[in-house]
Structure 1
C-alpha cells in the first residue's frame, strides 16, 4: 500500500482505469467520467487511463483539470463503437504513466486489457487497488458470432478470469446488492461491496416554478443505447398491444446498432406514427424528456444498475422495469411502478397500461415514491464512499441476499387486447 493512503484527509492522487470512457455512451463510461469530475472538484489530482476513441498513437490531454492518458486502440469488428488495446502495444505506456503519476490509489473498472495491466503493475509496486465491476458476460454475447455451446463456455471462462483479476485488488465493488450476489454466485468472495454508481439527482429534477408537462397523449420514455440486450423491440411491440383508446406514444432517446431494425419493426406493427426516435440529445433536452414522460420503461435484461432508470426516478417518474438483474432493486409493484416478465411484450403492455390508465394523482404519488427511493443513490454519497475506500477505510460487506423487493399483488384488468 502507498504510504499516502492513510486515513488523513490530504488530497489524493487517483488513477482511474476504465475500459470505456466518453465519448463512449454507456453507464460504465458515464460513471467513470462523473467520478473523475467529482474527485477533481474536491481538490484531488485525477488521471484517467483509457482507450483512444479513434486511430492514432497514445496521447495525453487535459479535460478541465483531469489528465487523460489515451492509449493506442483498435476497433472491435463485432461492436459498433467499442475499442480495445493490444497489451504488447500499451503495457509500456501503462508502466510509464504509473512511473510519472505515482498514484496513491488505482481504481480499475473492468478486468480486460487496461484493467488487468493496471492491476498487475500496481500490485507489483505496492499501490492500493480498488476494483469496480460493471460487466457481465451477457453484455458482449450479442456481439460474438458463435453458437450457444461456445457462448456458454465463454461465460464460464469470463467469470473465472474476472475472479482472478479482481482477486488482486484490495477492495472490489459492484453497483448494487443484486450485482454483488451475482458475482458471489460466480466465484467472488463475500467481501465484495455494493456501492451505487450514483447520480446527481438535482440534474433531473423539475426547476422551481417549472410547469408540469402539457396535456396530451400519454407518453412512455426509454433512454439508453439501442443494443440487442436492451430489448427495445419488446417495448415497441408492447406499445402496439396497448388499448387503442389510450393513444399512447413512445419516445426513444439514444442511438445504436439496432435503430434501423427497431424503426422497421415500428413500421411493421403500424405504430411508426406513435414512436419518436430522438437520437442522442444534450443534457437539458434529456432532462426535459424525463419530465414530460408519464412513465419510464427499461426492458433491458443485463443491467447491473441502470443509471438511466435512476435518472428517471430523480425526475419523479413512475417506472416499469424488466424483472431481471438489478432492476428489481429499483421498483416495487404498485409503489413506484411495476416489474414485468422479461421479454414478455403482453405483460409489459399490461403493466404500462396500469400506469397510463391511472388517475394523474396516482401517477404523481408513484413518481414521489421513485424520488424518495433514489435518494440513497446520490452521487455525493457515492463519492464519499469511494474516498473512504481509497484511504483504506473499508466498511463491513453486506450479507449476501437474493431477496426481491416487496410486491403488491393486484389482479390485472383486461387492459390488453
Structure 2
C-alpha cells in the first residue's frame, strides 16, 4: 500500500455498463488503483434520464451526471455544460481530489480539467479517442465532417494542453496527436492487460464449433468495418469449414445480418451479441484467429485480450494496430477495406500446421505480456505522484 494514499478523480465520457475499450480501461484503472490503496472516484454521465447521483461500486464511488440522449447514437449521452459545471465544483468540494485524471476532452473532461486547474490540482490527461469516430453519427456531408474533426483535434490540444502530462496508448496515437492536436509532448502508456486472466483454467475444455473459428469482438459500428470481414469469410475456400463468431452489439448489426443473408453464409456466421467477460474469454480461447478490421483504433484492447489468450491476429494496417503485429511472428496486417487481402491472410493462418499455429499463438502471448497491467498502473501512479517520464515522451 502507498505511504501517502491519494484521492483520485477519473473523469470519463464513457464507463460501464458502456461496452467499449475506453470504458473498460477506466474500470480497470479504478479497480487497479483502488487495490493499491488509493481512494477512487469516477465522474461519468448517467446512462438514462434523471438527476445526478452517486453509486457505490466495488472499484470506486461513481458519480453519475445528469445527461441527455442523442438521436444519432444509441448509447452516447450528452452532458450540458450549464447543468454540470456547478455539480462538478460541488463534487470537488466534497471529494477534495489530490489528482484528476481526465479521459476525454469533451463536456465532462473539459469542465473537470477547468475546475482542477482553477484549484491548482494536478491533472493527467489520457486520450482514447479519434474525432473521426463520431463521423458515422453526425448527419453531415463529408466536407463538413472534415471541419468538425479538425476543430475537435484543435480543441483536444487546447484542453489537454492544460494537463501536467498527456498520455495515449501507443506511439502511433501520440504521433496523431502531434500532427492534428499540436500536442508536442505526449507520453505513450499502454492501456495494459492482465494476460494471465485469459489462460485456460485447470481442466477446462473449450468446445469447438466443428471447424476453425475466426473471431471479432467489439462494437458493431461503422468504423469497425465488420462488413469487410464478412465479405472475406465468403471468399475463404469452402474446404476450410471456417466459422466466424461476432461478439458485440451496435447500430450496424441489422445491416451485417442482412449482408450475411445476402451472401448465403448464415451457417458460417454466428452473432453472439453482448457477452459476459467469461463467455468472451472462452471465445478468445476457442478462436483460431482474431480479426480487427477497424481503422480508428488507438490501441485495441480486444486485440490485446485475444493475444493474451495465445490467439494469432490479423489486423488492419491502420492507425495503431500495426504495433500489435511483431514482424508476422504472431499474425499479419492486411490492407484496410480490402476483403480479398483479408481473406488471403486469414487463409494463411488457418492453413498452418497445428504446431506452427501454436508457435504463432505463443508469439501473440509474448507480445501481450509486454503490455502488463501492473506496469501501466505503476506508470500512472508515478504520474499521480508527480513523475514526468520526460525520457519517454514522444
Range into which the TM-score falls when normalised by the shorter chain: over 0.9
The residue number in structure 1 matching 2:245 is: 251
**Which structure 2 segments of 5+ residues have no match?**
none
Q: Give me the TM-score of the superposition, normalised by structure 1.
A: 0.92
Q: 2:47 aligns with which of 27, 30, 53?
A: 53
- Deviations 1:330-378 (CA, angstroms, capped at 9, x unpaired): 0135310000000000000000000001111111100000000111211
Greater CA drift, 8-17 or 340-349: 8-17
Q: Check if 1:18 corresponds to 2:24.
A: no
The residue number in structure 1 matching 2:152 is: 158
Q: Check if 1:27 corresponds to 2:26.
A: no
Superposition deviation, residue 263 in structure 1? 0.5
- Deviations 1:79-105 (CA, angstroms, capped at 9, x unpaired): 110001000011100000011111110
Runs of 4 or more above 6 Å deviation: none
Q: Check if 1:145 corresponds to 2:150.
A: no
Q: Measure, in 2, the Cα distance between the counterparts of 1:187 and 1:113.
A: 17
Contact preservation (8 Å) 2:41, 2:61: yes
Superposition deviation, residue 43 in structure 1? 1.2
Superposition deviation, residue 210 in structure 1? 3.6
Greater CA drift, 188-197 or 232-241: 188-197
Superposition deviation, residue 137 in structure 1? 1.1
Contact preservation (8 Å) 2:188, 2:393: no
Contact preservation (8 Å) 1:193, 1:397: no
Q: 2:277 aligns with which of 280, 283, 289?
A: 283
The residue number in structure 1 matching 2:329 is: 335
The residue number in structure 2 matching 1:188 is: 182
Q: Give me the TM-score of the superposition, normalised by structure 2.
A: 0.97
Superposition deviation, residue 200 in structure 1? 1.7
**Which structure 1 segments of 5+ residues have no match?**
1-7, 401-417
Question: Where do 1:195-274 residues align within 5 Å?
Answer: 195-211=189-205, 214=208, 216-274=210-268
Superposition deviation, residue 164 in structure 1? 0.2
Contact preservation (8 Å) 1:110, 1:134: yes
Contact preservation (8 Å) 2:334, 2:345: yes
Q: Measure, in 1, the Cα distance between the counterparts of 2:258 and 2:23.
A: 29
The residue number in structure 2 matching 1:78 is: 72
Q: Measure, in 1, the Cα distance between the counterparts of 2:181 and 2:148.
A: 15
Structure 1 residues 364 and 93, CA, compared in 2 at 3 Å: closer, same or farther?
same
Q: Check if 1:378 corresponds to 2:357.
A: no
Q: Measure, in 2, the Cα distance between the counterparts of 1:174 and 1:397.
A: 16
Q: Measure, in 2, the Cα distance between the counterparts of 1:238 and 1:333.
A: 23
SS in structure 1 of the partner of residue 390 of structure 2: coil
Q: Measure, in 2, the Cα distance between the counterparts of 1:272 and 1:285.
A: 22
Structure 1 residues 214 and 260, CA, compared in 2 at 3 Å: closer, same or farther?
closer
Superposition deviation, residue 212 in structure 1? 6.1
- Deviations 1:360-407 (CA, angstroms, capped at 9, x unpaired): 11111000000001112111111110000000012125464xxxxxxx
The residue number in structure 2 matching 1:324 is: 318
Superposition deviation, residue 317 in structure 1? 0.3
The residue number in structure 1 matching 2:345 is: 351
Superposition deviation, residue 324 in structure 1? 0.3
The residue number in structure 2 matching 1:309 is: 303
Greater CA drift, 295-304 or 201-210: 201-210
Q: Measure, in 2, the Cα distance between the counterparts of 1:60 and 1:387.
A: 25
